[in-house]
């Protein structure tokens, strides 16, 4: 009977001490720092259309290849 009373009192005191710690400003890792609001992410870059430049490069490469092809066939 004595043991159960002692255990229940110890349990009650430990629970009350844990519940009373919420009012403190300390946490396990020290004092809590005030949280800063998060900044929104920067705006994304505008989309760049690659079609016009890519078609220009293909056309220029084709024209250069055709010019070299004609030069090589005209010498033969």
In a domain? residue 74: yes
> What is the number of domains present in the chain?
1
Residue 7 resides in a domain: no
What lies within 8 Å, CB to CB, of 32 at 6+ separation is 25, 26
Range of the domain at 62: 51-76
Residue 73 in any domain: the answer is yes
> Is residue 5 in some structural domain?
no
Establish if 19 belongs to a structural domain: no
Within a domain: residue 59?
yes
> How far apart, in whole angstroms, are the C-alpha atoms of residue 6 and residue 12?
10
At 26-50, the pLDDT tens digits run: 556 666 666 778 888 888 887 766 6
Residue 28 lies in a domain: no
Q: What is the pLDDT of residue 65?
A: 95
């Amino acid at each position: 009977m004595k043991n159960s009373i002692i255990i229940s009192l110890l349990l009650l005191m430990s629970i009350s001490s844990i519940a009373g710690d919420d009012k403190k400003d300390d946490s396990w890792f020290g004092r809590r720092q005030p949280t800063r609001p998060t900044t929104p992410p920067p705006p994304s870059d505008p989309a760049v259309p690659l079609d016009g430049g890519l078609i220009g490069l293909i056309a220029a490469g084709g024209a250069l290849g055709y010019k070299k092809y004609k030069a090589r066939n005209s010498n033969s």
